[in-house]
């Protein structure tokens, strides 16, 4: 439960003490900070504050189980699928060459401890608090457990301890509960995705292959005549894949910087 450092300036803005490499530069030159924040919020809303994207999953369950000991935010994620702490740390923007957070990096912890009386600093925090309120039952369970001394904010507990914690509160967090119950909501691998992977593998394993760029690779796969593997569709798919990889890089970088900041603070 380590968060990136931040401070609140005299205008109530949530600032990073350093410029972060992964920050969104798109709004750096906006006329005012308020305009930059409002425009950035549209992206933040779609990427982070979307309830349809939040649900427990087998992958999350397996990942948390491998960690053996989980902090309070991990325990919350086990019950809800909510990883708002990681999302917040990896979502920053620059304005006038300074890095800002749309919400405080430790807002999730503040909400656990003080729910429902967290005072938002700005419009992004207001929307985030409203988003978190959808999981109020789980937050309230953690708040009450803290007040009762059943758990402590800085302690880590075993995976099985968290299973029992949520089970006592009528929340099923077994492996079976993390399986998709509604097949219509289960993400299926599209045939076009499989064709893209197969085509790229064939190009990669061809000893006589030329040096491909994104467009020429798409055209080479289209030339195979596979139904559903048009160059335009593949080009769009490649772009989506690169965007997904870029987001994954941002999250990985955020985790690395959080670990480094925690390590430097401990020295």
Q: What are the tens digits of pLDDT across the range 51-99?
A: 888 877 887 888 888 887 999 999 999 999 887 766 776 688 999 999 9
**Whole-number percent of the chain with pLDDT over 70:** 79
- Res 231: pLDDT: 77
Query: What does the alpha-carbon distance between residue 24 and residue 93 come to, in Å, rounded to a whole number?
Result: 4
- Res 177: pLDDT: 59
Structure confidence at residue 144 as a pLDDT band (50, 70, 90):
very high
The total domain count for the chain is: 2
- Res 183: pLDDT: 41
Residues 6+ away with beta carbon under 8 Å from 237: 192, 193, 196
Backbone angles phi, psi at 231, to 5 degrees: -60, -40
Do residues 224 and 243 share a domain? yes
Mean predicted confidence (pLDDT) in 196-213: 71
Least confident of 127-136, 155-164, 176-185: 176-185
Task: Give the pTM.
Answer: 0.63
**Residue 192: both structure tokens together:** 């076009």
Out of 149, 165, 183, a domain closes at 183
Mean predicted confidence (pLDDT) in 211-230: 75
Average pLDDT over all residues of the chain: 81
Residue span of the structural domain in which 260 resides? 189-267
**Residue 80: both structure tokens together:** 């809800």
Is residue 233 pLDDT above 80, yes or no?
A: no
Do residues 164 and 210 share a domain? no
Do residues 141 and 211 share a domain? no
* In-domain check, residue 2: no
Do residues 158 and 225 share a domain? no
Structure confidence at residue 198 as a pLDDT band (50, 70, 90):
low
**119 burial type by CB count under 10 A (0-12 exposed, 13-18 middle, 19+ buried):** exposed
- Res 127: pLDDT: 92
**Residue 176: both structure tokens together:** 């079976």
């Amino acid at each position: 439960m380590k968060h990136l450092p931040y401070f609140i300036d005299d205008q109530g803005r949530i600032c990073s003490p350093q410029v972060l490499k992964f920050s969104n530069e798109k709004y750096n030159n906006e006329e005012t900070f308020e305009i930059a924040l409002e425009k950035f919020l549209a992206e933040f809303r779609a990427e982070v504050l979307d309830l349809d994207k939040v649900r427990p999953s087998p992958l999350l369950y397996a990942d948390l189980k491998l960690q053996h000991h989980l902090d309070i935010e991990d325990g919350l994620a086990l019950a809800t699928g909510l990883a708002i702490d990681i999302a917040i740390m990896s979502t920053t923007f620059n304005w006038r060459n300074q890095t800002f957070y749309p919400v405080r990096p430790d807002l999730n912890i503040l909400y656990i401890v003080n729910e429902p009386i967290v005072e938002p600093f700005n419009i992004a925090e207001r929307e985030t608090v409203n988003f978190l309120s959808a999981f109020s039952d789980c937050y309230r369970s953690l708040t009450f457990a803290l007040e009762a001394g059943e758990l402590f904010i800085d302690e880590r507990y075993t995976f099985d301890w968290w299973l029992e914690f949520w089970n006592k509160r009528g929340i099923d967090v077994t492996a079976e509960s993390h399986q998709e119950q509604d097949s219509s909501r289960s993400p299926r691998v599209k045939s076009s995705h499989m064709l893209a992977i197969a085509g790229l593998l064939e190009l990669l394993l061809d000893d006589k292959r030329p040096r491909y760029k994104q467009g020429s690779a798409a055209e080479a796969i289209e030339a195979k005549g596979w139904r559903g593997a048009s160059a335009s569709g593949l080009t769009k798919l490649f772009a989506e894949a690169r965007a997904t990889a870029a987001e994954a890089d941002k999250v990985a970088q955020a985790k690395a910087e959080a670990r480094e900041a925690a390590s430097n603070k401990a020295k």
